[in-house]
């Protein structure tokens, strides 16, 4: 381990390894297969770069992101490490030069695109047999699996790697693999008794905020004024949305640009480069922007429109703070966006797909609307436990006050009782608020509880229902259409004068305050 720490300090200028980096490095140096699941910004590169320098021979790094290869190789060379890459963008002359260096054992790292391995029936692999290979690193390893979200046929060729190089350790790295994908990667790559290293996906340096989607432009301009040195990304749903917002920001004196799949690739490369080099401060973009962009000092990621699901939200917000410094994720949320995305989800693909998309959208909506620690929700969504009280999300940073909710709880519970525990929350809320909608029958209108809840709006009652469920005063049945049911505790409230004490957010912490602008 001492040797690798020395290399870490000497070549990369860092004092110490992060937790799973140390294990990965140690493991690969011991020539054992390794699987690394680490969030974006977690530090996957060092897991193979350091062993590449410790071990004899050349490390072969398989990476699908051609655009990034050059940057990575340049960065290594700046640190005094002999590295090169091979991909389809190079002419034969340039390739020959690299082959020459390879043959003479001059390279510590060689980055190759996966299609290089499959080309000419694997002639490149045969060539590799003639040189001394220290390790294979398979980056973005989820691309080898049909279960992942980004399967690439060229990756399939990698399953022959182990057979042809049984003595050479393989390290597979990814930032996105659920359990099935993980198992599949291990199987597809033929990893032998791999050490599996899974890092927490918690990004402790990112603060999460959700704000109502109102006067968004004002909010953003204000935020930028309050954070004059910060650069970041603002995601919009549509191409036109990015153009409009970027132009509006420019009119407000902000150095902004837009990015989407509709602009030429030359132009895209240009703005991306300008952004990375801090020549553009704010990138207003569709989801087309970001995959593999290594800008470490992105201080904020905003969502001017609602993302389709938590995976996208987390991946996009994860582009903030890769350098580990405090950063912020701000989501502007509106119900109108939910409606819009619902429509998209319903027309897209087949029924099964649509219902999956709707379910994921619902989880995104829950995240935006809930009253609990946002980080806890995110971590639990990804299968990690988190105690809450993170102290760095808007909910945990908010002021709370005790709230005697007995009267409102009585109203709500008696509505559930009067309607014989047969309806879901939307109908109960409509009923309480005296809706004239068709779903409220004449019979319901004549019940004594009809219309007694006009003191609160829809959101108020939704929140109360959520809190009552959390505190066991109410439960939701697990039927196809979930129905509100009473509990023992609710009966005590209804018939035994039990009081209900809840907490209510006095003022939700905000990333930007613009009261004075409104």
Among 132, 225, 296, 503, binds ligand ADP (CB under 6 A): 296
Among 161, 390, 405, 502, binds Zn ion (CB under 5 A): 390
Q: What is the DSSP letter of 213?
A: -
Q: Determine the interface stretch with ligand ADP among 41-49, 120-128, 212-220, 231-239 (rule: CB under 6 A).
A: 41-49
Using CB distances below 5 to 8 A depending on partner kind, what does residue 42 bind out of Zn ion, ligand ADP, none? ligand ADP
Among 20, 27, 28, 44, binds ligand ADP (CB under 6 A): 44
Closest distance between ligand ADP and the C-beta of residue 21, in Å?
6
Token digits of residue 29: 């140096």
Q: Report how far residue 257's alpha carbon sits from residue 281's, in angstroms, rounded to the nearest whole number.
A: 8
Half-sphere exposure of 281 (CA within 13 A, CB side): 14
Q: Report how far residue 326's alpha carbon sits from residue 297's, in angstroms, rounded to the nearest whole number.
A: 10
Nearer residue to ligand ADP within complex by CB, 18 or 458 = 18
Q: Determine the interface stretch with Zn ion among 22-30, 50-58, 165-173, 370-378 (rule: CB under 5 A).
A: 370-378
Nearer residue to Zn ion within complex by CB, 360 or 375 = 375
Helices (H), 32-129: 44-54, 66-78, 92-103, 114-118, 123-128
Nearer residue to Zn ion within complex by CB, 373 or 419 = 373
Nearer residue to Zn ion within complex by CB, 157 or 209 = 209
Interface with ligand ADP includes 322 (CB under 6 A)?
yes
β-bridge pairing 195-198 and 34-37: parallel
Q: Report how far residue 427's alpha carbon sits from residue 515's, in angstroms, rounded to the nearest whole number.
A: 34
Residues 101-120 that bind ligand ADP (CB under 6 A): none
Among 182, 295, 322, 375, binds Zn ion (CB under 5 A): 375
Nearer residue to ligand ADP within complex by CB, 47 or 419 = 47
Identify any residues that bridge with 259 across adjacent strands, giving them in sequence order.
285
Interface with ligand ADP includes 38 (CB under 6 A)?
yes
Q: Report how far residue 346's alpha carbon sits from residue 365's, in angstroms, rounded to the nearest whole number.
A: 16
Given a contact cutoff of 8 angstroms between Cβ atoms, the answer to whether 12 and 46 are in contact is yes
Interface with Zn ion includes 373 (CB under 5 A)?
yes
Closest distance between ligand ADP and the C-beta of residue 314, in Å?
14
Token digits of residue 310: 């938590």
Residue of closest CB approach to ligand ADP: 43
β-bridge pairing 109-112 and 58-62: parallel
In whole angstroms, what separates CA 512 from the centre of its chain? 22
Nearer residue to Zn ion within complex by CB, 393 or 474 = 393
Given a contact cutoff of 8 angstroms between Cβ atoms, the answer to whether 259 and 283 are in contact is yes
Using CB distances below 5 to 8 A depending on partner kind, what does residue 396 bind out of ligand ADP, Zn ion, none? Zn ion
Nearer residue to ligand ADP within complex by CB, 201 or 473 = 201
Interface with ligand ADP includes 344 (CB under 6 A)?
no
Q: Determine the interface stretch with Zn ion among 242-250, 303-311, 372-380, 491-499 (rule: CB under 5 A).
A: 372-380
Q: Report how far residue 17's alpha carbon sits from residue 66's, in angstroms, rounded to the nearest whole number.
A: 27
Q: Determine the interface stretch with Zn ion among 70-78, 263-271, 388-396, 486-494 (rule: CB under 5 A).
A: 388-396
Interface with ligand ADP includes 20 (CB under 6 A)?
no
Sign for the pseudo-dihedral over CA of 492, 493, 497, 500: positive
Interface with ligand ADP includes 315 (CB under 6 A)?
no
**Which of 295, 264, 292 has its CA nearest to residue 280?**
295
Interface with ligand ADP includes 18 (CB under 6 A)?
yes
Given a contact cutoff of 8 angstroms between Cβ atoms, the answer to whether 210 and 331 are in contact is yes
Nearer residue to ligand ADP within complex by CB, 39 or 453 = 39
Using CB distances below 5 to 8 A depending on partner kind, what does residue 375 bind out of Zn ion, ligand ADP, none? Zn ion
Nearer residue to ligand ADP within complex by CB, 134 or 176 = 176
Q: Report how far residue 282's alpha carbon sits from residue 302's, in angstroms, rounded to the nearest whole number.
A: 10
Interface with Zn ion includes 378 (CB under 5 A)?
no
Residues 328-357 that bind Zn ion (CB under 5 A): none
Tell me the DSSP string of 134-186: EEEEETTGGGG-TTSSS--GGGGGGGGHHHH-TTS-EEEEES---HHHHHHHH
Interface with ligand ADP includes 314 (CB under 6 A)?
no
Residue numbers of the site for ligand ADP (CB under 6 A)?
14, 17-18, 21, 38, 40-46, 294, 296, 322-323
């Amino acid at each position: 381990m001492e040797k690798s720490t020395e290399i870490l300090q000497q070549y990369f200028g860092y004092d110490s390894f992060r937790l799973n980096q140390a294990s990965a490095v140690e493991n690969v140096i011991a020539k054992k297969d390794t699987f690394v699941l680490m969030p974006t910004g977690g530090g996957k590169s060092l897991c193979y770069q350091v062993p590449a320098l410790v071990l004899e021979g050349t490390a072969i790094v398989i990476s699908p992101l051609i655009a990034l290869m050059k940057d990575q190789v340049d960065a290594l060379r700046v640190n005094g490490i002999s590295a090169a890459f091979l991909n389809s963008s190079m002419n034969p002359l340039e390739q020959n030069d690299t082959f020459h260096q390879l043959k003479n054992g001059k390279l510590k790292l060689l980055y190759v695109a996966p299609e290089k391995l499959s080309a000419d029936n694997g002639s490149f692999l045969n060539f590799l047999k003639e040189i001394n290979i220290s390790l294979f690193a398979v980056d973005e390893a989820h691309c080898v699996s049909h279960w992942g979200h980004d399967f690439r046929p060229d990756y399939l060729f990698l399953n022959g790697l182990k057979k042809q190089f049984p003595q050479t350790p393989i390290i597979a790295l990814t930032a996105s693999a659920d359990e099935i994908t993980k198992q599949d990667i291990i199987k597809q790559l033929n990893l032998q008794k791999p050490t599996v290293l899974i890092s927490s996906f918690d990004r402790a340096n990112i603060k999460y905020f959700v704000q109502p989607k109102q006067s968004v432009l004002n909010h953003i301009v204000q935020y930028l004024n309050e954070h004059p040195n910060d650069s970041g990304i603002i995601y919009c749903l549509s191409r036109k949305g990015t153009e409009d917002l970027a132009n509006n920001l420019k009119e407000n004196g902000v150095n902004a640009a837009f990015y989407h799949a509709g602009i030429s690739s030359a132009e895209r490369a240009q703005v991306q480069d300008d952004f990375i080099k801090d020549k553009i401060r704010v990138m207003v973009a569709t989801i087309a922007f970001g995959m593999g962009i290594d800008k470490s000092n992105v201080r904020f990621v905003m969502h001017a429109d609602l993302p389709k699901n938590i995976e996208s939200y987390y991946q996009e917000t994860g582009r903030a703070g890769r350098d580990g410094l405090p950063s912020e994720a701000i989501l502007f949320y509106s119900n109108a966006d939910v409606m819009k995305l619902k429509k998209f989800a319903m027309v897209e693909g087949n029924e099964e797909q649509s219902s999956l998309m709707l379910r994921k959208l619902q989880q995104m909506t829950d995240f935006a609307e809930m009253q609990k620690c946002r980080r806890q929700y995110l971590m639990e969504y990804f299968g990690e436990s988190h105690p809450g009280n993170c102290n760095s999300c808007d909910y945990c940073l908010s002021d709370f006050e005790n709230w005697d909710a007995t009267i409102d709880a009585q109203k709500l519970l008696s509505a559930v009782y009067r309607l014989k525990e047969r309806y879901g929350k939307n109908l109960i809320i409509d009923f309480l608020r005296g809706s004239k909608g068709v779903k409220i029958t004449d019979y319901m209108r004549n019940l004594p509880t009809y219309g007694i809840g006009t003191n609160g709006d829809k959101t108020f009652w939704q929140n109360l229902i959520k809190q009552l469920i959390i505190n066991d005063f109410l439960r939701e049945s697990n039927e196809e259409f979930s129905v509100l049911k009473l509990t023992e505790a609710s009966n005590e409230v209804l018939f035994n004068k039990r009081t209900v004490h809840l907490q209510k957010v006095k003022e939700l912490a905000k990333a930007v305050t613009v009261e004075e602008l409104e």
